[in-house]
Chain A
Amino acid sequence: MKYAYYPGCSLSSTGIEYDMSTREIAKVLGIELWEIPEWNCCGASSAHLTDHLLALALPARNLAIAEEAGLDVAIPCAACYARSKATEVAVNESEEMKKTIQEVIERKYEGKSKARSLLEIIGENVQRDSIKERVHFLLSELKPACYYGCLLVRPTRTAFDDPEDPQSMDQLLRVFGAETVDWSHKTECCGASHETSAKPEIGLTIMQKIFAAAQNAGANCLVTACPLCMNNLDMRQNEVEKHFNTKYNLPVFYFTELVGLALGIEPAKLGLNKHFVDAMPLVQQVLNRKGGEQA
């Protein structure tokens, strides 16, 4: 399996663990990732608040390069994915828009190269493979609350999973023995935009509800597929705890990190040591179950 890979800006900065773990598990799973040469910004937030055409044209250039190579695009970041998907749909639905976009980017994009979420792709490959033989560590110590966030499975029309109660991440992690919890806040807003805007206290309240819901459901960690959600939930968890005078201590993982861990990849190579909420004690629990308890 070969995909064009669009890491986006977060994955070389705040979300570097997502990039590291993605590349590592792709190797093990036999997924070839070809990074789109000279990719540009997907335009998330800033472009679609500014200009509709600009918002569609920015991802179109990346998609066009992938289309020239005859590949679909694997996109880890939920925001990049949402923006790229919007372009793909717009081009397929309107000949006129397709023409306009092609003029703007001075390239051909026919809507054939598909924007695909990395979660969807990994999910497919893991289901299909005889993956059990490759599992080094069962994730049975983990009770993750899978957190999909606001963009990954919306809007309904283009969603690859149920927009109210998505299951794809849960199913993927259960293959590796994780006991994902059924909980209420899977697709809530993480509050990231409020954090960066003038009203951070709104964001803190939103996050507090997510942490509380996960904890009430019996989760011992959160798992995400979005660098912005990670940023918020991991980096600001301490701030939320202080503000509400409580303790959650919920490590936050990218799903790719947990898949990597189960596949026996060294934690440091996955970036697991880079988290704000210390993930290593939980990681160590997983690693301690090796030997007789391998899958």
Chain B
Amino acid sequence: MKRVGVFVCHCGTNIAGTVDCAKVAEAAKDFPNVEYSVDYKYMCSEPGQEMIKQAIQEHKLDRIVVASCSPRMHEPTFRNCVEKAGLNPYYVEMANIREHCSWVHPNEKERATEKAIDLVKMAVAKAVKNQPLQKTTIPVTDRALVIGGGIAGIQAALDLANAGHVVDIVEREPSIGGKMAQLDKTFPTLDCSACILTPKMVDAAGHPNINLLTYSEVEKVDGFVGNFDVTIRQRARSVKMDVCTGCGICMEKCPVKVDSEFELGLAKRRAIYTPFPQAIPNKPVIDREHCTYFIKGKCGICSKVCPAGAIDYTQQDELITRRYGAIIVATGFTLFDHSVYGEYGYGKYPDVITGLQFERLINASGPTMGKLKRPSDHKEPKNIVIITCVGSRDETKGKSYCSRTCCMYSAKHASLIRDKIKDSKVYIFYMDMRTPGKGYEEFYDRSREVYGTQYIRGRVSKIYPQNDKLIVRGEDTLLSQPVEVEADLVILATAMVAQPDADKLAQKIGIGYDKDNFYTEAHPKLAPVETHTQGVYLAGACQGPKDIPDSVAQASAAAAKACALLSKPEILTEPIVSEVDEKTCAGCGTCVLICPYKAIDLKTLTERIAGKTVERKVATVNEGLCQGCGACTVACRSGSIYLKHYTDEQILAEVNALCL
């Protein structure tokens, strides 16, 4: 005979304001197996937990029901509590009478109380059926993988490396640095982006605990927390890294010129190139798609001029497989393609550029050496229009979300323009100004008051060329008037969007992503850098639009989480996992297909039946990978796979308690 104790929490007035907690505790006394029932103001508090421990001793309780908040909030608290009192922690069952009851029925006190009583009744029935479960341990490989070598990836890697863990950074471009390397100055302090980024790049490259794998991509991810087996494709650079001295003569002599990705089409690069002079590693790669040698089999100039003999046309892609304990995903973002907007000219007008292109044009190391010249005729622009929310906050053609950084970088652009061209005038068309960061509102104020930026609240309906000007027509909604600005240059503050292949990478790793392909955190408030896959963490704009301070903060947070995992030789695993009844499993494999964590495989079972050796397939669960979602138990046609702590018997006991 089980002896159940019921503990009903008031949660201050959160629950007690709607539910009559005393009445619930009183009603629980009549449920089968209930030996003790009580209500209290804050069950999770120290005295509340003491009350539970004492009751366990005094009343010899062996099953505990706590009627309070969501188990996501305090189930671990109460499991710890009963464990200290000598019970198996999985003997606790929670009845959620806050989120599922008091908060959703604030105006129906009597019925809410009835519902709370029912919820408790169900929890009691389940608690009686609860089995003791034991946590097991799995070993942890002390090595981390950081995917993406932008500022978020670099920061996360440095933090991990400084804590003594070995880190590999995988970056698909020939150099680390990411988008931040392309920026000129950074808000709100206007310090030069390169000046604060390049030292970090150098630190990362020189750190004894960090390995850079540039020009590389993640091909495959197997395994589970503590033991991810990752295959990385290191693309052929056609340049021997250990021989090349980075002298750069090959880049000078290469006859092929193509649009530079780093300069966003505003300048050319060679077929053998580093993306930018401060690249790390500062050793070139050959772009085989454009290299004459690879297209026609002739040329070979780079090989002839290389004093070190580092050019190797025969290099092949290499596949490296390594085991990692933790993965930090920091793959960043790309920019919204504004060519869908007819009103801005479908990307046809050369003097309508993006904010990132502007960063290159105002950057001292950019194609114009920092002298602002517009692309069409290289004249210095005097009248500049900036349009914010291009592709963001637009459900029709763009994204529904606010891109978060554009208000600020547009204010920065306006200030930078006026710094360089004193007699210029900058107009910013905006929807709302959003400046919620430390020093941000002040920065925006300065762009208006010191730099004289003219803010126009309203949208632009059309840009069209007239002579050598662009006419920008819009509405000033504060004056309720149409406005027209004759501009020499228009800058579109295009939204940050997920990388085009973000979904594919998420599928490889087994993490979630939202409707916009940004990676989903485990909890928006309480687990912002974790994913639903244990051991995989998020940093930077791959999770959603983010500025540099936020990306760096999140990177350090992700590193701290990864450190906590890697600093122990082994970890405890959650015992709420699926288990297969091999006797009845038909080996159909439906569960294998349905499992979102790739935790189920088929294995061959050899049996002797009636004197004969028979082989058959059955499902088997990898407990390290299983996250206890229960999808397999629903899919199984013969009911041969079940989730511990949520078995059919346990769930039906709840149903019976409610319905019978």
Please give the residue numbers on chain A whose beta carbons come within 8 Å of chain B beta carbons, in ascending order: 156, 162-165, 184-185, 213, 216
Contact across chains for B346 and A216 when beta carbons are under 8 A apart = no
The distance in angstroms between the C-alpha atoms of A162 and B346, with both chains bound, is 11
Interface check B342, CB cutoff 8 A: yes
| Binary per-residue interface labels of chain B (327-354) against chain A in the complex, 1 for a CB within 8 Å, 0 otherwise | 0000000000000011100100000000
List 8 other contacts, CB 8 Å, given A184-B464, A185-B464, A216-B466.
A162-B342, A163-B342, A164-B341, A164-B343, A164-B346, A165-B342, A213-B464, A213-B466
Instruction: Mark out the residues of chain B between 336 and 377 whose CB falls within 8 Å of any chain A CB in the assembled complex.
Output: 341-343, 346
Main secondary structure of the interface of B (DSSP, over half): mixed
Q: Which residue of B lies closest to A162 (CB)?
A: B342
The distance in angstroms between the C-alpha atoms of A5 and B466, with both chains bound, is 40
Q: Which residue of B lies closest to A163 (CB)?
A: B342
> How far apart are B345's CB and chain A's nearest CB, in angstroms?
9
Q: Which residue of A lies closest to B471 (CB)?
A: A184
Interface check B396, CB cutoff 8 A: yes
> How far apart are B304's CB and chain A's nearest CB, in angstroms?
47
Contact across chains for B465 and A156 when beta carbons are under 8 A apart = no
The distance in angstroms between the C-alpha atoms of A162 and B467, with both chains bound, is 25
A residues less than 8 Å from B465 (CB atoms): 184
The distance in angstroms between the C-alpha atoms of A185 and B341, with both chains bound, is 16
A residues less than 8 Å from B341 (CB atoms): 164
B residues less than 8 Å from A184 (CB atoms): 462, 464-466
B residues less than 8 Å from A164 (CB atoms): 341-343, 346
> How far apart are B155's CB and chain A's nearest CB, in angstroms?
42
| Binary per-residue interface labels of chain B (279-321) against chain A in the complex, 1 for a CB within 8 Å, 0 otherwise | 0000000000000000000000000000000000000000000
Q: How large is the interface on B (under 10, 10 to 19, 20 to 34, 35 or more residues)?
A: 10 to 19
What are 18 A-B pairs with beta-carbon distances under 8 A?
Answer: A156-B396, A162-B342, A163-B342, A164-B341, A164-B342, A164-B343, A164-B346, A165-B342, A165-B346, A184-B462, A184-B464, A184-B465, A184-B466, A185-B464, A213-B464, A213-B466, A216-B466, A216-B467
A residues less than 8 Å from B342 (CB atoms): 162-165
Q: Which residue of A lies closest to B464 (CB)?
A: A184
B residues less than 8 Å from A213 (CB atoms): 464, 466
Instruction: Mark out the residues of chain B between 426 and 467 whose CB falls within 8 Å of any chain A CB in the assembled complex.
Output: 462, 464-467
> How far apart are B471's CB and chain A's nearest CB, in angstroms?
8
Q: Which residue of A lies closest to B346 (CB)?
A: A165
> How far apart are A212's CB and chain B's nearest CB, in angstroms?
8
B residues less than 8 Å from A162 (CB atoms): 342
A residues less than 8 Å from B467 (CB atoms): 216
The distance in angstroms between the C-alpha atoms of A164 and B466, with both chains bound, is 17
| Binary per-residue interface labels of chain B (105-129) against chain A in the complex, 1 for a CB within 8 Å, 0 otherwise | 0000000000000000000000000
The distance in angstroms between the C-alpha atoms of A156 and B396, with both chains bound, is 10
> Quick one: which of B396, B466, B467 has the most chain A CB within 10 A?
B466
> How far apart are B185's CB and chain A's nearest CB, in angstroms?
34
The distance in angstroms between the C-alpha atoms of A10 and B311, with both chains bound, is 75
The distance in angstroms between the C-alpha atoms of A171 and B420, with both chains bound, is 46
| Binary per-residue interface labels of chain B (461-502) against chain A in the complex, 1 for a CB within 8 Å, 0 otherwise | 010111100000000000000000000000000000000000
B residues less than 8 Å from A185 (CB atoms): 464
A residues less than 8 Å from B396 (CB atoms): 156
| Binary per-residue interface labels of chain B (13-42) against chain A in the complex, 1 for a CB within 8 Å, 0 otherwise | 000000000000000000000000000000
A residues less than 8 Å from B464 (CB atoms): 184-185, 213
| Binary per-residue interface labels of chain B (71-86) against chain A in the complex, 1 for a CB within 8 Å, 0 otherwise | 0000000000000000
A residues less than 8 Å from B466 (CB atoms): 184, 213, 216
The distance in angstroms between the C-alpha atoms of A163 and B396, with both chains bound, is 13
B residues less than 8 Å from A165 (CB atoms): 342, 346
The distance in angstroms between the C-alpha atoms of A156 and B341, with both chains bound, is 12
> How far apart are B362's CB and chain A's nearest CB, in angstroms?
28
Q: Which residue of A lies closest to B463 (CB)?
A: A184
> How far apart are A268's CB and chain B's nearest CB, in angstroms?
38
A residues less than 8 Å from B462 (CB atoms): 184
A residues less than 8 Å from B346 (CB atoms): 164-165
A residues less than 8 Å from B343 (CB atoms): 164
The distance in angstroms between the C-alpha atoms of A184 and B342, with both chains bound, is 11
B residues less than 8 Å from A156 (CB atoms): 396
Q: Which residue of A lies closest to B340 (CB)?
A: A164
Q: Which residue of B lies closest to A217 (CB)?
A: B465
The distance in angstroms between the C-alpha atoms of A46 and B89, with both chains bound, is 74
The distance in angstroms between the C-alpha atoms of A227 and B36, with both chains bound, is 87
> How far apart are B509's CB and chain A's nearest CB, in angstroms?
37
> How far apart are A134's CB and chain B's nearest CB, in angstroms?
34
B residues less than 8 Å from A216 (CB atoms): 466-467
> How far apart are A186's CB and chain B's nearest CB, in angstroms?
10
Q: Which residue of B lies closest to A166 (CB)?
A: B342
Q: Which residue of B lies closest to A156 (CB)?
A: B396
The distance in angstroms between the C-alpha atoms of A163 and B397, with both chains bound, is 13
The 10 closest A-B pairs by CB, nearest first: A164-B342, A184-B464, A165-B342, A164-B343, A165-B346, A162-B342, A184-B465, A163-B342, A216-B466, A185-B464
> How far apart are A33's CB and chain B's nearest CB, in angstroms?
33
The distance in angstroms between the C-alpha atoms of A151 and B396, with both chains bound, is 19
> Quick one: which of B341, B343, B467 has the most chain A CB within 10 A?
B343
The distance in angstroms between the C-alpha atoms of A212 and B198, with both chains bound, is 52
The distance in angstroms between the C-alpha atoms of A165 and B466, with both chains bound, is 17
> How far apart are A106's CB and chain B's nearest CB, in angstroms?
38
Q: Which residue of B lies closest to A216 (CB)?
A: B466
The distance in angstroms between the C-alpha atoms of A132 and B343, with both chains bound, is 35
The distance in angstroms between the C-alpha atoms of A185 and B465, with both chains bound, is 10
> How far apart are B653's CB and chain A's nearest CB, in angstroms?
46
> Quick one: which of B341, B342, B343, B467 has the most chain A CB within 10 A?
B342
The distance in angstroms between the C-alpha atoms of A164 and B396, with both chains bound, is 14
> How far apart are A220's CB and chain B's nearest CB, in angstroms?
19
Q: Which residue of A lies closest to B341 (CB)?
A: A164
The distance in angstroms between the C-alpha atoms of A165 and B464, with both chains bound, is 11
> How far apart are B165's CB and chain A's nearest CB, in angstroms?
53
Q: Which residue of A lies closest to B342 (CB)?
A: A164
The distance in angstroms between the C-alpha atoms of A216 and B346, with both chains bound, is 20
| Binary per-residue interface labels of chain B (377-401) against chain A in the complex, 1 for a CB within 8 Å, 0 otherwise | 0000000000000000000100000
> Quick one: which of B346, B396, B464 has the most chain A CB within 10 A?
B464
Q: Which residue of B lies closest to A184 (CB)?
A: B464
> How far apart are A53's CB and chain B's nearest CB, in angstroms?
27
> How far apart are B398's CB and chain A's nearest CB, in angstroms?
13
> How far apart are A143's CB and chain B's nearest CB, in angstroms?
18
Q: Which residue of A lies closest to B467 (CB)?
A: A216
The distance in angstroms between the C-alpha atoms of A185 and B467, with both chains bound, is 14
> Quick one: which of A156, A162, A184 has the most chain B CB within 10 A?
A184
> How far apart are B57's CB and chain A's nearest CB, in angstroms?
67
The distance in angstroms between the C-alpha atoms of A164 and B341, with both chains bound, is 8
> How far apart are B347's CB and chain A's nearest CB, in angstroms?
11
> How far apart are A207's CB and chain B's nearest CB, in angstroms?
16
> How far apart are A215's CB and chain B's nearest CB, in angstroms?
12
The distance in angstroms between the C-alpha atoms of A254 and B216, with both chains bound, is 59
> How far apart are B348's CB and chain A's nearest CB, in angstroms?
9
Q: Which residue of B lies closest to A183 (CB)?
A: B464
The distance in angstroms between the C-alpha atoms of A184 and B341, with both chains bound, is 14
Q: Which residue of A lies closest to B344 (CB)?
A: A164
> Quick one: which of A164, A165, A216 has the most chain B CB within 10 A?
A164
The distance in angstroms between the C-alpha atoms of A216 and B468, with both chains bound, is 12
The distance in angstroms between the C-alpha atoms of A164 and B460, with both chains bound, is 13
The distance in angstroms between the C-alpha atoms of A185 and B396, with both chains bound, is 23
The distance in angstroms between the C-alpha atoms of A185 and B343, with both chains bound, is 11
Q: Which residue of A lies closest to B484 (CB)?
A: A209
> How far apart are A27's CB and chain B's nearest CB, in angstroms?
36
> How far apart are A57's CB and chain B's nearest CB, in angstroms?
29
> How far apart are B183's CB and chain A's nearest CB, in angstroms?
31
The distance in angstroms between the C-alpha atoms of A162 and B397, with both chains bound, is 13
Q: Which residue of B lies closest to A164 (CB)?
A: B342
The distance in angstroms between the C-alpha atoms of A213 and B465, with both chains bound, is 9
The distance in angstroms between the C-alpha atoms of A63 and B270, with both chains bound, is 63
The distance in angstroms between the C-alpha atoms of A208 and B342, with both chains bound, is 23
